[in-house]
Structure 1
């Protein structure tokens, strides 16, 4: 490199990059005079050696490394901490996200499925304030399984509430090796390298990293040691080592490319985006209201009713002889009592409460997800019966319906829908429906809001406040839509929430509501 040679700025001492037309201060540089015939390259003032290479790279610019920019922005899942020597026991591998697009949601839902015994099938990646992602630890066990390779199917779902068409999905399928109990480290390593690329042999917490190969040959393996562990890989002639390969490592890490799956965008924008809503049925000449509460959440929390800052999404309270009771037995419900989510094998429920729950009279155990079945009875609280009891009266691939089978049966029912999921059509959409719920309106969630599908014509209509719902088949003649799951709270906050609950006379009177709200 030379210093600035602009004659108008003789005191400028800024260095000029080879091949640049001006210095860092913007001073134009004089062009070299054409060389005389027969002059040597050095005498012509042309760069040579390192300067010539630097000038060539500067001239080519981004074409020097055509894949560098694409590689830096490629979504990848970095897997580390895998030790195949721990076969037969429980392991925990670390998953790190890299290269995710900036416009994806701040929290990504991860679904996992494998022949290995997984600790959990659902996890979540969360973006930190610095823009990177918190790691997720995936626990699994290979105890009692046959040795071989086991695929782990991973899906990442990005969904931003209130932004129709923002749903994105990525997937990858890493392979975990379960070796034979008597396999040597050399056999494990050879098998692993045969199925993986870009393998890193890592060692942490202690020391030395070394690779030795026959004749100093090149290997596509990165050996890394941090905070000083020992990571040694010796691939020299096995005859020099007593007929075996010397291999020692604490863990193996590799990168899996995330493949984005095309997700169809919403057909039309929704006039009332919401993931929680309610269909209110008002009987003529009666103060009683019946509610079909709608939820379109990846994970719906069932818990105790609280008027101020509840911990749950689906709020439950005990109904006694005199109607709704916000105290008393309602306090036997936890603020977060149970979770209902959509897993890979359908909807499932998990007990996260202090008091427990019963599924068809049996306690499933805490933090043990159980698939929901059509007709299953869900009794919240295991010690006292009748506090709040629900029944699965409809179960599809895109949603389910819960009817109360206690004294609150005339007050409310619940419809839980998978967000941004089209129910399909025909018999598949009506499969798994109890006779009591056969007249359930065909509802689904798409484009950020709730929709109704006419069972006769197949026309989809968005649900929004002020709509004339009596024109829609299957919804009844006295319905209104509210973009809140508990609209009655707005009228009764000063007189205790839900003060318009049905009385004993209303509970015992014949039902004149649609069959999907009947007891």
Structure 2
């Protein structure tokens, strides 16, 4: 027992250094004595009495461990809670439930007070549905952290050990500023495995084993020498470990298995404030589109994105729309019935919204919303330009992301183009959730805008890649070897915008007349 020099059988034990708990008690005793004397005399050296009241050892074998008194000029002792290394306490795992549904309880402990009040916990494993899951870990008003519960099933899984990779992220302004990682192993036993075999295999995979018996009041260890076990029992149950059983077998009994995994903080490579290719409008060109794929993925990063008529010279809008017939794109004819500034899409207080600013009107799900009346966008909404003549341009809202909107054409131009309308300088904090997007949008890459340029975000590894005309896109999720980035949103033609200085193209570079 703590503080004793002999075990219950009177076998001498090696003396150990005073624990943090003993030092903390000694510090509190010293402060109490110092406050009682009120400075009239020097405080006596504090002594941490570690003798157990219920010890069976002779009194002469119990040694008191003196704690050194701190000098008045010494630095204040750091609180014990701050000395605890950040770690995940994992509980609720029962390897006996082979082939069934299980729930892991993960509690964040020892995190510094300087950490953000909400962290992102990401887990990757073959046991987890779809291979990955993400949760938000929030700090409570008491200063601790709300636990996270992760469900998984080992049904139809081969028996053996399965690795679970954990990544804890702290975000600021949409960017990862701190990251902690750890990895632990889950044992999926055979269906016919005995409880003893399961426990022996579990012990062989962990150097430090903590045996937890919740609702227990008896914790007992029998036999053995030099074992690194932590036995805890609370409230009337029994936790029992017998290390002296015959034939080398280990007899263990407890309700669940729980252990701690230390979180290791890793360095975050700081991206440069200068993007290699700064732009607010660009295009990803697919040289060999497959069935259902678009040839042009047009990218825009603007606070307000104006949709309007296609014009080669001095267009009034950002997204240039043309009518597509069975013969292809027609920049005349019905295209002329679109206004130069037909509609505006922006981010409002309740999300992304669209506003009609045209002469000819637009239809949202078949109804005219009225001019200058913003209407919130929703997934699946059908946008028709215009209201007077049907089917000139028909767009569908295929995805509404935390940082942007994806529009697909629902007319004859469906294979020609789609549009990414992104918030400038905004990085998504959540992975690309295909469950809230149409199938054609879920197959697209996850893109965002930051540091003046466009980026690709891998939803599995969280790896960011700056997009530039020289970037190889073949290895990026959602892209292939036939994709390339163009500097202009309409690389198939030359859009000219004039201003007081002369001519310039749509990315703002000055040209010589």
Place the TM-score, normalised by the shorter chain, in its bin: 0.5 to 0.7
2:232 alignment partner, SS class: strand
Measured in 2, the distance between the counterparts of 1:78 and 1:358 equals: 38
What is residue 349 of structure 1 aligned with on the other side? 433
Distance apart, 1:74 and its partner CA: 1.4
After superposition, residues 40-51 of structure 1 pair within 5 angstroms as none
The match for 1:457 is none
CA distance in structure 1 between the aligned counterparts of 2:266 and 2:123, rounded to whole angstroms: 16
- SS in structure 1 at match of 2:172: coil
Give, in angstroms, the shift of residue 220 of structure 1.
Answer: 2.3
Secondary structure at the aligned position of 1:159 is classed as strand
Partner of 1:502: none
The 5 Å alignment of 1:385-404 reads 392=444, 395=445, 399=447
Q: Alignment partner for residue 225 of structure 1, among 218, 233, 243?
A: 233
1:250 matched residue in structure 2: 255
1:333 to 378, 396, 400: 378
Distance apart, 1:264 and its partner CA: 2.7
Can you list the C-alpha shifts for 1:69-92, whole angstroms capped at 9, x where unaligned?
A: 698341111111111111211211
Q: Is the 8 A contact 1:79 1:253 kept in 2?
A: yes
Q: In the alignment, what sits opposite 1:475? A: 507
- Rate the CA distance shift 1:134–1:416 in 2: closer, same or farther, 3 A: farther
Alignment counterpart, residue 278 of structure 1, candidates 294, 303, 309: 303
Looking at structure 1, the residues matched to 140 and 96 of structure 2 have their Cα atoms a distance apart, in angstroms, of 33
Cα deviation per residue 1:472-508 (whole Å; 9 max; x = unaligned)?
Answer: 9972469xxxxxxxxxxxxxxxxxxxxxxxxxxxxxx
* Structure-2-length-normalised TM-score: 0.52
| CA offset digits 1:272-291 (Å, max 9, x no partner) | xxxx8537679899894326
Q: Which runs of 5+ in 1 are unaligned?
A: 1-14, 32-48, 271-275, 293-304, 361-370, 374-391, 402-413, 443-467, 479-519
Deviations 1:13-41 (A, max 9, x none): xx9959x999741224499xxxxxxxxxx
CA distance in 1, matches of 2:501, 2:253: 70
Q: Does 1:207 align with 2:287?
A: no
1:427-466 correspondence to structure 2 within 5 Å:
427-431=470-474, 432=479, 438-440=485-487
Between the aligned partners of 1:229 and 1:30, the Cα distance in structure 2 is 44
Which of the numbers 78, 97, 104 marks the counterpart of 1:86? 97
User: In the alignment, does 2:232 pair up with 1:185?
Assistant: no
What TM-score, normalized by structure 1, do the two folds share?
0.52
The answer on whether the counterparts of 2:245 and 2:251 sit within 8 Å (CA) in structure 1 is no
What's the C-alpha RMSD, in Å, of the aligned pairs?
5.4
Change (3 A) 1:426 1:21: same
Aligned residue in 2 for 1:146? 158
Distance 1:280 1:359, change over 3 A: closer
**Per-residue deviation, 1:252:** 0.6
Distance between the aligned counterparts of 2:504 and 2:85, measured in 1?
47
Tell me the SS of whatever aligns to 2:466: coil
Q: Aligned match of 1:157 in 163, 169, 172?
A: 169
User: Cα distance 1:340–1:228, how it changes in 2: closer, same or farther (>3 A)?
Assistant: farther
Q: Secondary structure at the match of 1:167?
A: strand
Unaligned runs of 5+ in 2: 1-27, 45-59, 276-300, 321-344, 368-374, 382-396, 404-429, 490-499
Counting only pairs closer than 5 Å after superposition, residues 1-20 of structure 1 correspond to structure 2 as: 17=30
Distance in 2 (alpha carbons) for counterparts of 1:338 and 1:472: 33
SS at structure 1 position matched to 2:187: strand
Residue 186 (structure 2) aligned to one of 147, 172, 176: 176
Equivalent position SS for 1:58: coil
Per-residue deviation, 1:249: 1.8
Equivalent of 1:116 in 127, 130, 138:
127
Report the CA distance between 1:172 and its aligned residue.
0.6
Which whole-Å CA distance do the structure 2 matches of 1:27 and 1:471 have between them? 87
Farther-moved stretch of structure 1 (101-110 vs 324-333): 324-333
CA distance in 2, matches of 1:469, 1:179: 74
Say whether the 8 Å CA contact 1:90–1:140 is kept in structure 2: yes
- 2:477 aligned with 1:423: no
Note closer, same or farther for the CA distance 1:351–1:247 as it changes in structure 2 (3 Å cut): same
Measured in 1, the distance between the counterparts of 2:319 and 2:114 equals 37
The residue that corresponds to 1:404 in the other structure is none
Using the alignment, how far apart are the partners of 1:186 and 1:349 within structure 2? 42
Q: Do the aligned partners of residues 151 and 473 (structure 1) sit closer, same or farther apart at CA in structure 2, a change above 3 Å counting? A: farther
The answer to whether the Cα contact below 8 Å between 1:16 and 1:22 also exists between their aligned partners in 2 is no
Provide the C-alpha distance between the structure 2 equivalents of 1:91 and 1:225, rounded to a whole number of angstroms: 23
The whole-number CA distance in structure 1 between the counterparts of 2:502 and 2:159 is 61
- Offset of residue 135 of structure 1: 1.0
- The 3 A distance-change label for structure 1 pair 247 and 28 is closer
Alpha-carbon distance in 1 for matches of 2:480, 2:362:
29
Cα displacement (A) at 1:430:
4.5
Equivalent residue, structure 2, for 1:236: 244
Distance 1:22 1:437, change over 3 A: closer
Q: Does 1:198 align with 2:208?
A: yes
Q: 1:383 maps to what in 2?
A: none
Is 1:136 paired with 2:148? yes
Check 1:79–1:317 CA distance in 2 against 1; reply closer, same or farther (3 A cut): farther
1:117-151 Cα distance to aligned partner (Å, 9 max, x none):
33752222112222221111111111111111111
TM superposition shift of 1:320:
12
